[in-house]
Amino acid sequence: KAGVTQTPRYLIKTRGQQVTLSCSPISGHRSVSWYQQTPGQGLQFLFEYFSETQRNKGNFPGRFSGRQFSNSRSEMNVSTLELGDSALYLCASSSLTGGGYNSPLHFGNGTRLTVT
Amino acid sequence: AQSVTQLDSHVSVSEGTPVLLRCNYSSSYSPSLFWYVQHPNKGLQLLLKYTSAATLVKGINGFEAEFKKSETSFHLTKPSAHMSDAAEYFCVVSDHSSNTGKLIFGQGTTLQVKP
């Protein structure tokens, strides 16, 4: 079974631009969660989608948004990029929502976003 | 609210010696606890999960963790370190209050393995 696939692996953008990141979950998984990883803040939850509905959102500004398609693939968008948005963005999928012990998260290798 | 505290930001061991990575948790509920590992430029890989069925949890690559409710701890151990174990390790608790895919991560422990 193929794992979680994130594209692209690396991105370089300029301040003020916008960016879209893509995530394909493990086949059969309906939940997709997004996390931001930075050296200073560590891993922080962005949002989770389940069956095309956003179920929870972390403490990020409205410039960060996402969506999920009927095939469970997900995209996240960051508008008006700031230098502080430079980070590794990780996507994770699970078979059920909740991320509990009966439905642990499986992570992709991430997209490294650099904002200059 | 749930939280996890990893007590060491950096641990250095020699190859073949035991590994101990310490984690304390705080949770109002019966927690779902995990350990994940991240190798450089990679995503996170699940090492093991606490399911409440047993307090001693065995994971992949020879790692184990013991859940101790009285000490609110979930320390990760391995009897003998291998060079390939060098990575960053995260202790994680699931946010039951939201019942969504929100995990709360510790700040991570970097494991260095010396030859």
Distance of CA A16 to the CA centre of its chain: 20
Q: Which residue has the tokens 């949890």?
A: B57
Contacts of A104 in chain B (CB under 8 A): 34, 46, 49
* Predicted confidence band of residue A10 (pLDDT cuts 50, 70, 90): very high
Please write the tens of the pLDDT for every residue from A34-80.
Answer: 999 999 899 999 999 998 999 889 999 999 999 999 999 999 999 99
Contacts of B42 in chain A (CB under 8 A): 109-110
Is B63:B76 a contact under the CB 8 Å cutoff?
A: yes
pLDDT reported for residue B31: 81
Please tell me the distance in Å from B72's CA to the nearest CA on chain A.
Answer: 18
pLDDT reported for residue B75: 98
pLDDT reported for residue B27: 80
Average pLDDT over residues B69-80: 95
Please tell me the distance in Å from B15's CA to the nearest CA on chain A.
Answer: 27
Q: Which residue in chain B has the smallest CA separation from A33? A: B101
pLDDT reported for residue A82: 97
Contacts of A72 in chain B (CB under 8 A): none
* Predicted confidence band of residue B96 (pLDDT cuts 50, 70, 90): low
